[in-house]
Chain A
Amino acid sequence: MKKHLKIFASLLCAVALVIPVLVGCDNTPDTPDVGGENDEFVDYVDKLKLDMNSETKKQEVTVKFFIDGDTTHFNPTSNASTFVNNYIKARYLAVNTPESTGDVEKWGKSASNFTHDTLDGAEKIIVESDDDHWNVDSTSERYLLWIWYIPKGKAVADENYRNLNIELLQNGYGRASKTADNRYGETALAALMQAQASKLRIYGNAKDPNWFGGDGYAAVTLKGLRFHIADYVQRPVSVSGYITAKFESSVYIEEYDEETDVSYGIAVYYGYKTGAIVEILSVGNYVNVVGTVGEFNGTYQISGVSYNEARPTLVSNSKLIEKAEGEKSIPTKPFAEVSAADLAVGTRKVDAEFTVTNEDGEETPDKLTLDYGAAIMDTSVTLKNVTIQDDGTYTTKNGESAGAMSIVVKDENGNQITLRTIVMKKDGDEKYTLDDFKNADGSWKKIKSVKGIVDYYEGAYQLAIWSYSCFEFAD
């Protein structure tokens, strides 16, 4: 009951606070061009100070990894055993930013970037509870917290801490989430209402530069797509990532995810597209691809890539976001090292957590698990120190794939996996054969490393190999 009264009182105060400041305040920090309509802008974050002597719990932390705009995992600098699993899954109090971990909502990625950029390099970060307890949400794992930070370059002093929760609200990155019902409710609500009145970001019509959704298709992360792939079949989607490989009229797009320490990807069939889109889908580029998810022989791909060169400004066009510089370098974690054991069905799992929002706006976690092989399907990997086995190794004799090879390899622990090549050609028309994998005495060469794309065929994960140069042989 007390809390309800508190909310009502906070609302009244906020209205009283906001109306005058919108018309007459001189404290007007620069605001970015995000659609705001009000020049009289109050920096509520600057007005709010962290009281180190209050009854609340406080803990200095460093970032373990970023999740999205309103969730970050932190490592405590001390007292780690106080927290579940010795680290802090922080769900920010008072603010709910748009989703960006699975389905990507408008301003979700931008909010995530804002949190990342704000905390990355901060001089100090302190998390604070709302009262004298470390409170968790319904998952019993996520702590409901205020996030305080000292911006990079600022002196480490208590008065320099800024409240990120309210900063997100103030900048229009988040919607209300029990915003008034907490210890900083008045300020939080004032910041929120100012953002609404100023039509900032999610409250206005400005274009989100990091959102590539549109009418009729969903923006989704590659991680979200991979964990919910069946839900997206026959649906148009928009995904972003690096192009890691290109062969057989397809490219492979992937993006690394810090939370699970795994790259997620998917094949993109570009078929007989011509012109600029072919250049956009070059290896090394960071791109946004709009297309339709389809199922093909038990695997999935994006096809029907949307790109209209005659109308380059179409929202539904696939886009080049960042061109590869010089060498085809990809600043994520492509070609991550895997073992044959990792890719055996059922041996290694990947757990991920998504947020499901019900019709009432309440968020609940959705924990999902995939086979490691299924999680990293279509991503680039490196397999090291394996030997070729006679049993199961063969060359396809007939049809379009005549000359393609299936090469069974085994690691030092006896784990096997198949490397499936395309028809690999030398200069001219001569094809590589199994003889190219043998020493002069007829024995198999030892493979020091081989790069490939994770593929699935007849119930097992395998690596798809597109070039003889993917192999590095031991001396």
Chain B
Amino acid sequence: MKKKIGALFIACAMIGTVAVGFSGCRGAAPDFEMPEGGFDINKPVTITFYHSMGANLRTSLDEHIAIFEQMFPNITVEHTNLGDWNGVRDTIITELQGGNHPNIAYCYADHVADYNVANAVLSLNDFLADGAYNDLTVPTVLVDVETAEYVDEEGNPSDEAVTVERPIAFTQEEQDMYNPIYFEEGYEFGDGSKMYTLPWAKSTEVIFYNKTFFDEHELTPPTTWDEMEALCARIKEIDTNSAHVPFGYDSEENWFITMCEQQGSPYTSATGDKFLFDNAENKAFVTRFKEWQDKKYFTTSTLASTGTNTVYTSNLLLDGTLYMSIGSTGGTSYNQNLSEDKVPFQVGIAPVPQIDPAHPKMISQGPSVCIFKDEDPQKVLASWLFVKFMTTNPLYQTEVAMSNGYMPVLKQEIMNEFPTYSNWVQKANGSTYLTAQAVQVGMAHESDYFVSPAFHGSSDARDQVGKIMQQVFGNTKTVDQAFKDALDYLRAQFSA
């Protein structure tokens, strides 16, 4: 984060004005050309939103879209689930070539880097509290988001729609609602002077473990990778079934990148030589984990899957064939052990192991959203209003946390003032309220989060380091060969 704030400071100083906090730069020429008259409430406008939300999340999305459409009756929001992150990214890259892209999309900073090869993503600086348009307003119908009913300016139910003028851009109060850690990720792509994304929901990786088994054998979750190694050896002594493994890691990509961050070894850089991961420190941890794999200490989703049958390590945790599953808090609901036909056990959640527990590092994941430029400025404005509504909406943030275990992107003090949320978090347990426990664990460690540099090619770099792990664990390549091939591939693709 320090790097980014530094970059922001420099960019602002160059044009003679210093931004306050993490907001934009006063005096900069606007990136978005506001149409005369601002947002036209009389012109019907339809905007499209690409995401990868599962069914659990889509119901809530639909309900809040309906509320948003009450607030802005001329706006229609259409949304499409493209299955997974790669589906969103690949579809949009294809559509950008044909000029037929969505208005809003789930994204990581990596994706923005790819989209911005075509200069397609809108900078949000103009809509920040001190941006170019902070004096413009838009007629907004007052709606109670909990009841979806009209209210008056005092918040009392109203039979008729009451319309008031509300700022188009962020007010300072709205902007200050965001957790600054997540908000600043919006500056991740580029030189740090422009915000391209807003956080939608956040997650990190944790260990989901069979707490009943751990308690029975007086085991504790590992805080370091050395402890993990010793714990694996102990579990193999307790459970001699050769088909059972102590832990599983869903994402080889995350594992590689997290290890680089934890041990401070180079991975990538947004400037200069971009692909830095081919080094001795990184080969050392891959070699170490290969030795673990030979002892059947772990599996991964790739190793466990066969053909078209994708197996996540959460499946194996619930089947009782492993005791720890390292995966995203956003997938917490898949780690619940609730079916009465399965062997019952309580699930515990712990942070991922570290190399140096005094300086912990945990990957920051979860969707952000970006808005695409469009020849119709009304679509851009409608998209902004929608993104602003959804991401500053404590009720929606609560529903996302409840259904999947994502962490709200708003400050904890804001969320804690919202009784529905605070009461729910208090219910955290190892069974039906496992998502609440995941949010608790995740938020307790939010100061440990990191993100990787985003640039054109960073998304591919991530894919390639994952392949290194997969190839070594799958015995298809040696450590040296896997690293070399990954680097050769990236240099060939992005040599320019």
Contact = CB atoms under 8 A, between A and B. Distances in A.
B433 A249 contact: no
B339 A248 contact: yes
The listed residue with most B CB atoms (<10 A of its CB), out of A306, A308, A428, is A308
Contacts of B334: 272
Interface string A301-316: 0001010111101000
Contacts of A433: none
B100 interface: no
Contact of B338 (A276, A278, A309, A425): A278
Interface string B423-441: 0100100001111100000
Interface string A414-455: 000000001011011100000000000000000000000000
A31 B44 CA distance: 50
Contacts of A273: 56, 333, 403
Interface string B324-356: 000000001110101111110000000000000
Nearest to A422: B341
A335 to B, nearest CB: 16
A466 interface: yes
**Max chain B C-beta neighbours (<10 A), residue from A273, A306, A310, A311:** A310
Contact of A304 (B59, B427, B432): B59
A247 B340 CA distance: 6
**Max count, chain B CB within 10 A of own CB: residue among A272, A424, A467:** A272
Nearest to A314: B63
Nearest to B342: A425
Interface stretch (B159-167, B173-181, B394-402): B394-402
B341 A247 contact: yes
Contacts of A271: 55-56
A53 interface: no
A348 B342 CA distance: 35
B342 A272 contact: no
A400 to B, nearest CB: 8
Contact of B403 (A274, A279, A399): A274
Contacts of A467: 340-341
A309 B55 contact: no
Nearest to A304: B55
Contacts of B55: 271, 304
Contact of A274 (B146, B343, B402): B402
A275 B424 contact: yes
A246 interface: yes
B60 interface: yes
Interface in B406-424: 420-421, 424
A466 B241 CA distance: 25
A42 interface: no
Contacts of A308: 59-60, 63, 399
Contacts of A313: 147
B325 to A, nearest CB: 14
A272 B56 contact: yes
A213 to B, nearest CB: 18
B321 interface: yes
Contacts of A422: 341
Given A272-B336, A274-B333, A309 B341 contact: no
A273 B395 CA distance: 18
Contact of B395 (A275, A311, A399, A466): A311
Contact of B420 (A272, A278, A310, A425): A310
Contacts of B30: none
Bin the interface of chain A by size.
20 to 34
A285 to B, nearest CB: 14
A283 interface: yes
Contacts of B342: 425
Contacts of A283: 340
B320 interface: yes
A429 B241 contact: yes
Interface string B56-97: 100110010000000000000000000000000000000000
A468 to B, nearest CB: 10
Given A306-B59, A429-B241, A311 B146 contact: yes
Interface string A277-305: 01100010000000000000000000010
The size bracket of the interface on B is 35 or more
Interface string B344-378: 00000000000000000000000000000000000
B344 to A, nearest CB: 10
A156 to B, nearest CB: 51
A315 to B, nearest CB: 10
Contacts of B403: 273-274
A409 to B, nearest CB: 21
B402 A247 contact: no
B283 interface: no
A274 B339 contact: no
Interface in B222-260: 241, 244
B368 to A, nearest CB: 22
A91 B140 CA distance: 54
Interface in B301-325: 309, 320-321
A428 B395 CA distance: 41
Contacts of A399: 309
Contacts of B405: 274
A258 B121 CA distance: 63
A304 B399 CA distance: 16
Contacts of A310: 395, 398-399, 402, 420-421, 424
A425 B343 contact: yes
A467 B405 CA distance: 31
Given A275-B402, A311-B146, A425 B320 contact: yes
Contacts of A274: 332-333, 336, 402-403, 405, 432-435
Contact of A429 (B60, B63, B341, B343): B343
Nearest to A245: B340
Contacts of B241: 429
A429 B405 CA distance: 28
Contacts of B427: 275
B142 to A, nearest CB: 18
A48 B60 CA distance: 54
Nearest to A309: B402
Contact of A272 (B333, B341, B398): B333
Contacts of B402: 274-275, 309-310
B341 A248 contact: yes
A427 B341 contact: no
A82 B320 CA distance: 67
Nearest to B54: A272
A275 B435 contact: yes
A275 B403 CA distance: 8
Contacts of B60: 308
B281 to A, nearest CB: 38
B394 to A, nearest CB: 9
Nearest to B402: A309
A309 B403 CA distance: 9
A276 B427 CA distance: 10
A157 to B, nearest CB: 52
A429 B59 CA distance: 36
A44 B129 CA distance: 68
A428 B320 contact: yes
B443 to A, nearest CB: 17
Nearest to B320: A429
12 contacts: A272-B56, A274-B333, A274-B402, A275-B433, A278-B336, A278-B338, A279-B432, A304-B55, A304-B59, A308-B60, A425-B343, A467-B341
Given A274-B435, A310-B399, 5 more contacts: A272-B56, A275-B427, A283-B340, A308-B63, A309-B399
User: Shortest 5 CB-CB distances between A and B: which pairs?
Assistant: A247-B341, A272-B333, A278-B432, A466-B341, A310-B399
